[in-house]
Amino acid sequence: MLNRQYDENVKRNYRDYKLIRITPRNEENLDYLKDLFRSQSPYELDFWQPPTHIGGLVDVTVAPEDADIFVKDLDSKQLDYLVAINDLEQ
């Protein structure tokens, strides 16, 4: 019972965190996503569905303070993506 109360008290706030669905279309896209998944990313990311193959969906949450720059990075690398959920708390 004590552990459950502790877990409820440290519940994280996901207000304004976004869920972004990315589709790697080539090896370069896939390698970039795998690098983000495997190593320290400059962004606060949480992969719900990790990158595995070209054409496979990759679901990742991104912190609000990193969302704009992360999306610009995806655009610059010509990755196909969709903001599936704009605010995880809603």
- CATH number, residue 56: 3.30.70.340
Per-residue model confidence as pLDDT tens digits over 7-63: 555 677 889 999 999 999 999 999 999 999 998 789 999 999 999 999 999 999 999
Within-domain flag for 3: no
**Rounded-to-integer distance, Cα 30 and Cα 38, Å:** 12
Within-domain flag for 1: no
Q: Which residue has the higher pLDDT, 90 or 33?
A: 33
Domain count across the chain: 1
**Rounded-to-integer distance, Cα 43 and Cα 53, Å:** 22
Mapped to the 3 state alphabet, what secondary structure does 58-87 carry? Answer: EEEEECHHHHHHHHHHHHHCCCEEEEEECC
Within-domain flag for 33: yes
Within-domain flag for 24: yes
pLDDT over 60 (residue 1): no
Nearest Cα neighbor of 84 from 16, 18, 13 is 18
Q: Which range of residues forms the domain containing residue 39?
A: 11-85
Within-domain flag for 22: yes
pLDDT over 70 (residue 79): yes
Q: Which single residue is written with the structure tokens 């304004």?
A: 16
